[in-house]
Amino acid sequence: MDLENIELVEVGPRDGLQNEPDIISTDAKLALIERMIGYGARRLEVASFVHPQRVPQMADAEGVIASLPDRKDCTYIGLVLNKRGVMRALATRDDGARGVDQVGCVIVASDTFGQKNQGQTIAEGLAETRAMLRFAKVEGLRAQVTISAAFGCPFEGEVKHDTVLAIAEELAIEAPEEIALADTIGVGTPAEVTQLFGRLGALLGDTIPMRAHFHNTRGTGIANGWAAYQAGVRIFDASLGGLGGCPFAPRATGNIATEDLVYMMARSGVDTGIDLDAAIAANKWFADVLGRELPSAVARAA
């Protein structure tokens, strides 16, 4: 029996690069995005609108966005943490420019991590994020939201499922295009993923799609991806080569690799729209740019 296809959101240009110690040039980022589109990525997180002193790798966000290919079949996403970020995203569309198509808002499911990541408690983050979603909608800008550290906090440890679901319930009032759960520090296991996404799906019903964002810090990321699929998730974030990490989460490692997710899904009968051979070729090219092999298991085995 044919299984439902998934949509893959390529987060390599933002989440994949933000923790890199050496600054990647704007031209190299654009060349990477071109290759990602070449292997079939049609929804890409291309930059974040954050203070350059906090995340120096994203200092050229507007420069990258101004030179993106004007592809009608692609959706470009910019990460935003506050209203100022939404305003910067809107400014990329001034004077008829293409700009970003969608903003991705973030709220952290723990007070301590939220204060370190964006200076907000959960309560403050909810108020800010709901206001951002409303503001973006009024301005005609598409918006979705991610609940970060949904499976564990690097400072507080366990994050209760009830906390995550209470956040999701409040966010759903603003009708974002998606609600994602992110395992920011890679502590989740398939059993936890099945339970939490199962409860989230029951909460949201058919009103708001779910998205999954996994990191492979403890080697469970791909298994968690399959558990999320079985729990009803059909939209997944992944990063070419398994690059990534959060500057504010100690010892955080990369996202699940695009190649690894595509391989697992394809072998399981699920279409992703991604050309695996072309993704592996892009991996090898970017490894030369960085001067090191990338973490993806599938690319290393190729």
CA distances, 60 to each of 47, 48, 69, 99, 212 (Å): 8, 9, 16, 14, 27
C-alpha 259/C-alpha 169 separation (Å) is: 33
Pick the closest to residue 87 from 123, 20, 141, 9 (CA basis).
141
Q: Which residue has the tokens 């990602």?
A: 36
Quickly count: other Cβ atoms within 10 Å of residue 160's Cβ: 10
Strand partners, 183: 214
Residue 241 tokens, joined = 């080569």
| Residue in the block written with tokens 């923790």 | 19
In whole angstroms, give the CA distance from residue 191 to residue 231: 10
Asked about 105 being catalytic, the answer comes back as no
Q: Taking a C-beta distance cutoff of 8 angstroms, is the pair 179, 208 a contact?
A: yes
Q: Say how many C-beta atoms besides its own lie within 10 A of residue 48's C-beta.
A: 26
Say how far apart CA 171 and CA 17 lie, in whole Å. Answer: 28
Catalytic residue among 74, 105, 153, 246: 246
The H or E element spanning position 183 is strand 179-183
The residues assigned a catalytic role are 246
